Structure 1
Amino acid sequence: MLKPDTLALTIVLALLTALGPLSTDMYLPSLPSIAAGFGATTGQAQLTLSAFLLGFAAGQFFYGPVSDRIGRRPVLLFGLGLYVLATLACALAPSIEVLIGARFLQALGASGPIVLGRAIVRDFYEGPRAGKELSRMGTIMGVVPAIAPLFGGVIAQVSGWRVTFGVMILCGLALAATVFLRLPESIRRKSKEPISFVAILKGFRSLLGHAGYRTYVSLSMLAYGGLFAFISGSSFVLQGLYGLSELAYAFSFSFVVVGFIGGTYLAQHLVGRYDLDDTIRFGVASLAAGGVLMLVLVASGAQSSLAISGPMAIYGLGVGLTMPQSMASALMPFPDRAGAASSLLGICQMTFAAILGIVLGRNLGGSALPLPAAIAVTGVLALAVSLGTERARRAPA
């Protein structure tokens, strides 16, 4: 069995939380060809991403509270099973409308592992140790979006986009087998709260009554919002406007991944010298700097794709510094409701990102400017929230 404070457990939890990014990043280079193959518009193709985010948010409503009541393992296995079946539907989709619907169901399954991965960390660890563990997971998890677009680009050129979903199926099956055979139940004391829609809503309202929780959720939401804006819009901007090939785009996408990995690695060392809030301050400064720099370069007419990918690496550094620490800080006051707290955090994060992605998709056209504008706004807002909520983050429950 996998045990706490071991690299093996960290790797498994990291791969569980990476299932969502894998399900988006691997097929990003294929978005233009998917649109062309189905005779769909750019906005319709982008909806396959936004539908995934909405499904991700919807699924997280139940996974955490239910796992608080009955345990992490059975709920995790259910999510992985749903993920595998829905991914098969994606691979066989006969139209863009069916693909959008199947992506929503795929996300319902994939949302379980990321919610429960965070909850398991809170079950096993506390305080800065939890933040360090989430950063370690982020470093490992960052390898997935680094290689997924490259792998997906090769598949798109050799075998077509449907094969990418076949690879996702294999990943889902491998993780389900690992959970079934090796992952122990982590919850120490199961919740006695009834499982009902009303009870879950009441629990979420209680969580939102904690000022510090609201603040850390907002920081995580804004950091991920800018990242998703890049994920959902970059293929159309870099391939459609800057003329990059599928493989060249995949290499360009790796800039943000390298930045993210660097941020999570740096965070592991910073939390040993500073507290979680200090590490977050470094992160939001990077978010704002990367977003504003990208906006300035694109608005000034820079012709190189590096005007997008270079500043996005700085933004990615900020994501790696901000998100793991914000998540750990949000869950810290709720050891008995870690699942519910993780669920609500994910709902807010994914819903905001999906809405931002839809708005961005409708405004992308002959100009690249909407992409850096969205990223700059989220980065600056994250910095403003961090600077303006010192008291809230130190407020008692």
Structure 2
Amino acid sequence: MQTPAKTPSHALPRVELVALLAMLMSLMAFTTDSMLPAMTDLAATLAPENKSKTQLIVSVFLMGAAAGMLLWGPLSDSFGRRRALMLGVGVYVIAAAAAAFAGSLEFLVAMRFMMGFGAASARTVSQAVTRDLFSGKEQARVASLIFMFFVVVPGVAPILGQQILFLAGWRGLFGSFILFGTVMLAWFLIRQPETLPPEYRRAFRIGPILAAGREVITTPVSARYVAVQVLLYGQFGTYLSSAEQLWVDAIGVGDSFPLWFAGVSLLSAVAGFVNSRLVMRLGMRRMLLWAFGSQTIFAGLAFSLWATGLLGGDPAAQLAVFALWSVSLFFVNGLTLGNITALAMEPLPHLAGTATAVIGALGMGAGMIIAIPLGLAFDGTPRPIMLGATICSALAVLLVITDMHRDR
């Protein structure tokens, strides 16, 4: 099968395209991060006996997103990017409306799964459109620029979430999700024409979809970088699902948690810019090696300081070490996520939507298998999460080193 043209005449101006695709990518982040300040109120209303259960609101949402990617990618390859996005955002909006009236944690978690399932369409379509228009290092460069815009949303989301929480309670947050999804979809439908011409679409049948998925996971380069993505999501998913407990319970920042979280997120925005500049000279694999290698050192050092008691009981020292390590962990995402996706998809240009779906689903879904037990291992300190990041990054380094001979 031929590959769609990489520079369609109807492509948007680069700045608007990057902003639009970043907004699509940010739907999941906004829906996740704006909920973080509401965990205590949610626990008081729906899970007063066990606050830690509220972690499921994050992890189950991401699991729903992983499952959704397996549907929206093939659908976008069969019916086009625009139709897949319309269906997915429709599911997201309906689930958000139902979640606003949840009377139990179990029902809320179920609706969060469906919200993640629908929100996955935005992420999948964003990456598929990027792959339609660009390839190789240029794709990685554009993906890094998208990350630079995208990171602003998870940075400000907890602050916005806290303000909405003060004004309308945690149920009011779901109204903001409906508004965000509706505006995003309208912008895409009005401004971005279809990037997948009919002659390049694949029939939506189970057999071809399974075959395409099999091709993704049996292509050596793709399979290797799916594993790297699992490790990335594993360490970051642990941090994200435990963020409120880490900052509030372990570090003791109290109501200023959203400000600290926003500061860490926004500082990491420069990572996308750095990667967009360096990846063209150093190559994607070397960027991954440096990023994961640095995180192995930073996370290992932070864990050692905490585990050996060298920080003592000094709250200021603990806050400084934890904040700096948090920045380094976010920074790794900016330096690696676009590169990992580009490397995994590079051998599969004819399966852009399906490849995005399988890679994203396996990376996020398997990453949550790592994140959930690490998050539940929370012992009142950041040590379990830091140790998990050290191990995950070290394993990623090994995978990249053994693939370095492929760099060209």
Q: TM-score range with shorter-chain normalisation?
A: over 0.9
Query: Is 1:166 matched with 2:175?
Result: yes
CA contact 1:282–1:321 (8 Å) conserved in 2:
no
Residues 1:266 and 2:280 aligned together: no
Contact 1:285 1:318 in 2 (8 A): no
**Which residue of 306, 331, 334 maps to 1:298?**
306
* 8 A Cα contact 1:257 1:313, kept in partner: yes
2:163 to 151, 154, 166: 154
- Distance in 1, matches of 2:121 and 2:362, equals 15
Q: Which residue of 1 aligns with 2:24?
A: 16
Aligned-pair CA distance for 1:281: 2.2
- Residue 33 in structure 1 maps to residue 45 in structure 2: no
Shift in Å, 1:371: 1.9
User: Alpha carbons of 1:338 and 1:19: their partners in 2 closer, same or farther (altered >3 Å)?
Assistant: same
What is the CA-CA distance between 1:228 and the residue it aligns to?
1.4
- Work out whether 1:59 is the aligned partner of 2:68: yes
Deviations along 1:34-90, one digit per CA (max 9) or x if unpaired, are: 112212523321111111111011101111112112111101111111111111122
Check whether the contact 1:286–1:315 (CA below 8 A) recurs between aligned residues: no
TM-fit CA distance, 1:202: 2.1
Contact 2:79–2:201 (CA under 8 A) maintained in structure 1: no
Deviations 1:324-361 (Å, cap 9, x if unpaired)? Answer: 11111222222211001100111112112322232123
- The answer to which of 256-265 and 229-238 deviates more is 256-265
Alignment partners' CA distance in 1, 2:362 and 2:407: 21
Report the Cα offset of residue 388 of structure 1: 2.3
- SS at 1:159's partner residue? helix
Which residue does 2:248 correspond to in 1? 239
Task: Give the equivalent residue in structure 1 for 2:369.
Answer: 355
Alignment correspondent of 1:275:
283
- What's the offset of the Cα at 1:294? 2.6
Q: Normalization by structure 1: what TM-score?
A: 0.93
SS in 2 for 1:161: helix
Structure 1, unaligned runs of 5 or more: none
Change in CA separation of 1:40 and 1:262 when aligned onto 2, cut-off 3 Å:
farther
TM-score normalised by the chain length of structure 2: 0.91
Q: Equivalent residues in 2 for 1:308-347 (5 A)?
A: 308-347=322-361
Equivalents in 2 of 1:290, 1:279: separation in Å?
16
Residue 124 of structure 2 corresponds to residue 124 of structure 1: no
The answer for the alignment partner of 2:395 in structure 1 is: 381
Aligned residues: 393
Q: Deviations over 1:200-223 (max 9, x none)?
A: 222111111211111222222222
1:243 and 1:21 mapped to 2: Cα distance? 24
Question: Judging changes above 3 Å, is the alpha-carbon distance between structure 1 residues 235 and 10 closer, same or farther for their aligned structure 2 residues?
Answer: same
The answer for the alignment partner of 1:180 in structure 2 is 189
How do residues 100-115 of structure 1 correspond to structure 2 at under 5 angstroms? 100-115=109-124
Q: CA deviation at 1:174?
A: 0.1
CA RMSD of superposed structures (Å): 2.0
Give the counterpart of 2:204 among 195, 199, 205.
Answer: 195
Q: Distance in 2 between matches of 1:364 and 1:87?
A: 29
User: For residues 63-119 of structure 1, what are the alpha-carbon distances to aligned partners after superposition, in whole Å with 9 as ceiling and x for unaligned?
Assistant: 111211211110111111111111112222111111100100000110001011101
8 Å CA contact retained: 1:60, 1:344: yes
Report the more deviating stretch, 139-148 or 182-191: 182-191
The yes-or-no answer on 1:252 pairing with 2:266 is no
Runs of at least 5 residues in structure 2 that lack an aligned partner in the other structure: 1-8
Aligned to 1:143: 152
Q: How many Å separate the matches in 2 of 1:132 and 1:3?
A: 17
Q: Mean alpha-carbon deviation: is it higher for 370-379 or for 96-105?
A: 370-379
Residue 394 of structure 1: how far off its partner (Å): 5.5
> Contact 1:284–1:379 (CA<8 Å) still a contact in 2?
yes
SS of structure 2 residue aligned to 1:351: helix
Cα distance between partner residues in 1 of 2:365 and 2:115: 16
Q: Deviations over 1:118-158 (max 9, x none)?
A: 01001011221111110010000000011111221233344
